Each structure stands twice: as C-alpha cells, then as structure tokens.
Amino acid sequence: MKATDLLETQHRQVKALFRRLEQRAPDEQSALEELANSLAAHLTVEQDIFYPAIRRVAAKLVAESYEEHALAEVALKRLLTTAPEEDAFQARLAALRDVIEHHVQEEEDELFPQVAAALDTETLEQLGRSMQERFDEVFASGFEAVLPQGWATTSADIANQALDQNGSKKASRPAA
C-alpha cells in the first residue's frame, strides 16, 4: 500500500475512535488506550519515516506538520491525565480532535497531492511497507514507549531535531 493511502486509512481509524469516545462507548478506557496507541504510532511513522522522505517535496508543510504533531501530543497527554468521567474529559477530547482534524485536512488536501506528484508508485509503496511495519511495532509497545515524559519536549521535537539541514537523519530515538 502506498504511504499516502496508509496514512489516510490511519486517519479514518483515528476518526472512528474519536466518535466512540465522544459517544461515551461502554469500553471508554479501552477506546482511549487504543486512541493513544494509534496516535503515537501514527505520529512516529510520519515523523521518523514519512516526513524525512518527503521533506524536499514540501519543506514548509513538513515543518508545520512537526509543530502540529507537538501540539497534538500535548493535547493527548492532557487527555490521558483526565478520567473519562471528569467534566474536562470531553472538552479535552474535542480540543485534541480539532487539532488532529486540521492536521489531517492539510495533509490530505495539500501535502499528499504534492507527494503523489513528486514520488513514483514504487517509492510510495516501499515507504508504506516500512511505515506499516513501524506502526505495528509502536502500537504493540504502547504510547508510553515513544512519547517523552513531561510537557517541555515532544516526540515531534526529538524527531525534527534528528534531521540535519539536508533532511537526512543525524540521530534516531530508541526503538519501541
């Protein structure tokens, strides 16, 4: 599967998880953990594999995407500190959903068409395979394995700092 198709599929899965949580599903805690693991895995594959591979195609959008990821991660961490029965839970869920929806729209409307025009199918499919493999690893390990503790540094900060000016990796974070 092409990288962009994989990411769009993941976008739809996360959207469905938001709906489950907004409707106060009976398995709310399980849905919240699945959302956290899915978002952490999705952020990781974009930050560590997809964005470095396509940075030269749309450098400004990629830079903005790292910042949006940082905001999403902080919003996710705030949500995870809130019990589903607390008044703030639904508000924090809505705020996280809004950040994610804006990011998804930008990727699908602006970034992905540029990537599709610049990269051949074989390259996109290879990226997709690598991304799916990494997604599965991170999802299985859980969000705690890749999201840094605290609020000051996010996984987006770490991934972005690992790239040099030419878009190549200088360092990487530990495997999940």
Q: What are the pLDDT digits (tens) for 127-169?
A: 999 999 999 999 999 999 998 888 778 888 888 888 744 455 5
Q: Cβ contacts of residue 1 below 8 Å, gap of 6+?
A: 9, 125, 128, 129, 132
pLDDT for the residue 24: 87
Q: Are 18 and 28 in contact (CB under 8 A)?
A: no
pLDDT for the residue 172: 46
pLDDT for the residue 167: 52
Q: What are the pLDDT digits (tens) for 9-34?
A: 999 999 999 999 999 878 888 999 99
pLDDT for the residue 156: 86
DSSP for 55-104 reads: TTT-HHHHHHHHHHHHHHHHHHHHHHTS-TTSHHHHHHHHHHHHHHHHHH
Q: How far apart are CA 104 and CA 101, in angstroms?
A: 5
More confident residue, 18 or 171: 18
Whether the per-residue pLDDT at 44 is higher than 50: the answer is yes
Q: What are the pLDDT digits (tens) for 103-137?
A: 999 999 999 999 999 999 999 999 999 999 999 99
Q: What are the pLDDT digits (tens) for 50-108?
A: 999 999 999 999 999 999 999 999 999 999 999 998 989 999 999 999 999 999 999 99
Residue 175 amino acid letter: A
Whether the per-residue pLDDT at 175 is higher than 80: the answer is no
Q: Are 26 and 40 in contact (CB under 8 A)?
A: no
Q: Which of 151, 134, 150, 175 is nearest to 42 (CA)?
A: 134
